[in-house]
Structure 1
Amino acid sequence: MAVRLLLASVLVGSVSAQFPRACTHAGALKSQTCCPVWEQDGSVCGERSGRGSCQSVVGPQTPGYSGRDFRMAWPSSFYRRLCVCNGPFSGFDCSECKEGYRGPRCQWRRLTVRRALHEMGWAERRRFVNRLVLAKTTISQRYVILVSRNTSEAGSPTFRNASVYDVCTWVHYVAAKPIKTKDDPNFAHMGPAFAVWHRRYLLFFEKEMRHLTGDEGFFLPYWNWTLSPTCDICTDGLMGRNGPSGTLLPPSPFANWETLCTYDGGDEENFHLICPGPIEGKTLLMRNPGKDRRADRLPPASDIWKCLQIRQFDSFPFNQYAPFSFRNSIEASLGSLQFELLYKTTDQALDCCILQAKGLKPMDLNGLSDPYVKVHLLPGACKGNKLKTRTVRNSLNPVWNETLTYHGLTQEDMARKTLRISVCDEDKLSHNDFIGETRVPLRKLRANQRKHFNMVLERPPPLAFIHQQ
């Protein structure tokens, strides 16, 4: 029941958290009413045609504007009366059909069959790319985006025009902004709604593309990346090639696309800031396959098959630490590690207290791991500077509470060296498996002051990066 309630609140509170252009004028905001007139019959919410009616969607106990986070009380943060649609009708004015229905009265059932890019002919691929370009260059007539320097101030929202494509990316941007911190679950990731939220998000994207193009058969094709060891859609004719820095190269039409809402006022932890920086001209699209240390590769077919064998959709605690979880497996969480560091100047010693790990990726056939932690200083990979903890058997949430100490570290060493902390799975019958790592530049430590860390594990950086350490 708790999972279903969480899913419901996330779906209503984030994918649906768009701002129809017709509901952002002063009168609608003041009355907290978003009940536009359906143009075809001239009535609010298409009530004359039986499509829907304007109703209160909140009760007397529903919270009003949330100074902490307007998503928590959506839609009552802005609207307390909305169009409630009947039967197969949907949309902010009940002018649309629910997914799977078509026709002037939404009376026909229709199944959308999405095809792979590899199955589409040259003309179909070209048409798909051209339509994406059209979406990026056409101002949405249906929605605007919220861009406020401080959303905690009730009554002072600012809205701006955006292209159809940018409206859709804004929805993901807002849903993925932190609730507590950027390492904790948000409305779109690290929780039970991950797969379902993104499914509904893509349906919203398809719907807006159908409105734009007038093509009721439009669909987003999928990419089967297991067919090639490289990004075989990163070509001039499809999604574009990238240069060494990750920027897309001409003649791809995506090479000059500017990103939306990439600057959060220098405070990624603060949800109150919604696109506070420049809307245009900030940064270009970036894509650099294999160079992101958090996800240096796409999962091979064998990993996908393993995910599909997990019978339980999600498990307690329903976040990035959930074991035996299909949802957590497809999010590719490696887990997190808690540790403390203390540099003692009088002893020239660095204490590395390895506390515990949570939600480690299972590496063994029994769905568990036999984890241990090893640390070493970079640069320098000699055996003498590598230390390790004991192994904890059959655990994804191991506790070590073990201190590893480096002696003879000078202030100069602390200024130039980086501590690499790796979590591995011990395998007595084969080679040990790497799970994940984190790195701490020692210059960030203050002498004689213990510092606590709770770090999300990452994949190792490219070899060239390691050689530079």
Structure 2
Amino acid sequence: MIPIFAFLFLCYNVVQGQFPRTCVTEEALEAKTCCPVWKDRSPCGALSGRGRCRPSVPVMTLQHAFVQRRQDNDDRLDWPRHYFTSTCECFRNYSGHNCGDCKYGYFGKKCDHKKTVERKEIRQLSYLDRKRFFGYLALAKTTKSQDFVILTTGNRHDRNTYRFVDASVYDLFTWMHYYSTQSILEDGVFSDDRNYAHQGPAFPGWHRLCLLFLERQIQLLTGDEDFVIPYYDWRGELNCSICTNDFMGANDDQGAMGKYSHFASWKSICSGYDYEDAYCLSAADECQMEILHRKPGANPSARKPPTFQDVEDTLKWRKFDTPPYDITSRYSFRNALEGFMRPSDGTTRERNMHNLVHVFLGGTMSQVPISSNDPMFLLHHCFVDKIFEEWLRRHNATVDSYPDNDVPGQGATECSTPYFPCYRNKDLLNRSYKFGYTFSTYKRM
């Protein structure tokens, strides 16, 4: 029996509905179909040739497929088949949960206008460009999403407690990271060994996709097709040189963002709910949300970010990832980039690269499930993506570089969780220009 889902309306805006609202009605959930009607009054814009409604193809191994049939299993396994066995397949350059949008890098009513934008280091932005960036983030933080709702529950074992609630555009992005990092539930047991966004080959591509998603949402929100997320080149920094009120904000002695920071009033969605059996209850109660914190260099084990040499050593590993495709993988570019091994030798377990920067920045950024609440997350992961792009270029990597594996959520042909439409993990190994962006060259003065 399909459980009953309750909806909380937190504002007066009507959300069309990372779960499309039109797909979380009782009827859609009963039919397990997410093929919303587009403007031409046909599912997935079929009459206009934009797409079609088709059954989702299961990709899990037999072992995991058996596990998924049980009631006490993770709702994200073999995404999105727990909720929807039929979704939109979009044609040509069309995209979106109802094929009403364009693929990344394409614009126009017919999605036939290709545009490539350049992501710059934040210190390359002019004063006005920085103000525009901060203004757009503020708008995304305070504007409820008109397309998606998020999922919350205090008991992941009981589907009848699941609720969909409204969230702002930025909080939707934050929730997607939180949702994907929660422990995997299989046969009633939670496992912290892996999740859907980290500790495996999906890591670089998943974060590439989440940045693309937020960029696109802000482009739609503001009407500015040229909006891009800047990056923070942290190589060789002795402290956080952009942790000032002119850039990403200064903090006080306790780590709270200073009152003159652009983010002084920001609160962290899903904070205080890092429990295996819960999904982000604080999303429905702003009073329970923590304020942002940051304390660069305060952790004795992470006094400064990775060096220039650490980045070069990471880029030398030719194999994208190696068995067993987790934090113990040796001679693995992905594992070195994620920061579970020493880049220079490819074998020694060590916190470095991506992981080290999170711990170095401290506060909210050092708490993995809620780290995306701090906009510093965007700049950090944009630079991680730049390193990923450089590796793809140097080693002439293709989608075939993604390893076949049967790790839940990390499979080459599995859909990246929790995106609509389906983006296969391996497809995110395409070069960035195919997604409509490149990176600037930045030389430290």
Asked whether the two chains share a fold, i.e. TM above 0.5, the reply is yes
Matches within 5 A, 1:33-432: 33-39=33-39, 41-58=40-57, 63=68, 67-179=72-184, 183-226=192-235, 228-264=237-273, 268=275, 270=276, 272-277=277-282, 279-281=285-287, 282-292=289-299, 295-334=302-341, 361=342, 367=346, 396=348
What's the counterpart of residue 398 of structure 2? none
The TM-score with structure 1 as length reference comes to 0.64
Distance 1:86 1:288, change over 3 A: same
- After superposition, the CA RMSD in angstroms is 2.9
CA distance in 2, matches of 1:457, 1:254: 23
Whether the 8 Å CA contact 2:149–2:165 is kept in 1: the answer is yes
SS in 1 for 2:117: coil
The residue type equivalent to 1:321 in the other structure is T
Distance 1:58 1:332, change over 3 A: closer
Whether the 8 Å CA contact 1:65–1:77 is kept in 2: the answer is no
Whether the 8 Å CA contact 1:67–1:154 is kept in 2: the answer is no
Distance 1:174 1:292, change over 3 A: farther
In structure 2, runs of 5+ residues without a counterpart are 1-17, 362-445
The residue type equivalent to 1:291 in the other structure is A
CA distance in 2, matches of 1:125, 1:112: 16
Whether the 8 Å CA contact 1:66–1:73 is kept in 2: the answer is no
Whether the 8 Å CA contact 1:64–1:73 is kept in 2: the answer is no
Q: CA deviation at 1:290?
A: 1.4
CA distance in 2, matches of 1:99, 1:91: 10
| Largest Rg, 1 or 2 | 1
Which structure is higher in helix share? 2
Q: CA deviation at 1:69?
A: 0.8
CA distance in 2, matches of 1:457, 1:128: 26
Whether the 8 Å CA contact 1:291–1:461 is kept in 2: the answer is yes
Q: CA deviation at 1:261?
A: 0.8
Q: CA deviation at 1:307?
A: 0.9
CA distance in 2, matches of 1:59, 1:209: 32
CA distance in 2, matches of 1:459, 1:164: 23
Whether the 8 Å CA contact 1:45–1:94 is kept in 2: the answer is yes
Percent identity between matched residues is 39
1:23 aligns with 2:32: no
1:356-400 Cα offsets, whole Å, 9 max, x none, are xxxxx3665xx55xxxxxxxxxxxxxxxxxxxxxxxxxxx59xxx
Whether the 8 Å CA contact 1:176–1:188 is kept in 2: the answer is yes
More displaced, 224-233 or 299-308?
A: 224-233
CA distance in 1, matches of 2:126, 2:168: 28
CA distance in 1, matches of 2:82, 2:71: 6
Q: CA deviation at 1:47?
A: 1.1
Whether the 8 Å CA contact 1:147–1:160 is kept in 2: the answer is yes
Distance 1:293 1:89, change over 3 A: farther
1:280-324 Cα offsets, whole Å, 9 max, x none, are 132111111112456443111111111112222111211111111
The residue type equivalent to 1:280 in the other structure is E
SS in 2 for 1:54: strand
The residue type equivalent to 1:245 in the other structure is Q
Whether the 8 Å CA contact 1:88–1:97 is kept in 2: the answer is yes
SS in 2 for 1:159: strand
The residue type equivalent to 1:276 in the other structure is L
The TM-score with structure 2 as length reference comes to 0.68
Of structures 1 and 2, the one scoring higher in RCO (CA 8 A, sep 6+) is 2
CA distance in 2, matches of 1:213, 1:459: 29
Number of aligned positions between the proteins: 329
